[in-house]
Amino acid sequence: MAELNLVLVTPEKTLFDRPVASVQLPLFDGSAGFYPGRAPLIGRLGIGRLRFTTADGNEEAWFVDGGFVQVRGPQVCVLTSHAVLVSEIDLQKAQEELEAATKETAVGQEAQEALARRQERARKLVSLAAAR
C-alpha cells in the first residue's frame, strides 16, 4: 500500500515524522485532505485540527496555529508556529483564554485583526478540548 510521510515541525523541534495513510488539515480558506498520489501543493495553514490516520489505522489529532503545508511526492510537510496534541489541551485554560480574548477591545485595523485571531484560536481550542 502506498503511504505518505507526514512531518510536523515547529520552530523548536520536529514533533512528528512517520508514515501515514491520510492527512486532513485546516487551510486559511477552508480545509484539505491528502492521500497517496496527491498532486504537489503549497498552502497556508489556518487555525484548527490536523488529523491523520497512521499506517496501522490509528487516528491522531493535533491543534495547529497557522503556518504552511507543502506536499511533494509522498512527503507532507507541515510547518507551524505552535502545535499540541488535542488530547493534551487543557479545557479550563482554553476557556479562560477565550474569556480573556472576548473581553479585550482593539483600536485600529492591525490590533483588531490580531484580536480576531486570538479569539478564533481560543474558540477552536475550546471546541477541540470539549469534543474529545
pLDDT in tens, 46-99: 999 999 998 888 999 999 999 999 999 999 999 999 999 999 999 999 999 999
pTM (two decimals): 0.90
DSSP string, the chain: ---EEEEEE-SS-EEEEEEEEEEEEEETTEEEEE-TTPPPEEEEEEEEEEEEEETTS-EEEEEEEEEEEEEETTEEEEE-S-EEEGGG--HHHHHHHHHHHHH----SHHHHHHHHHHHHHHHHHHHHHHH-
Quote the pLDDT of residue 56. 85
Q: What is the pLDDT of residue 121?
A: 96
Q: What pLDDT is recorded for position 2?
A: 62
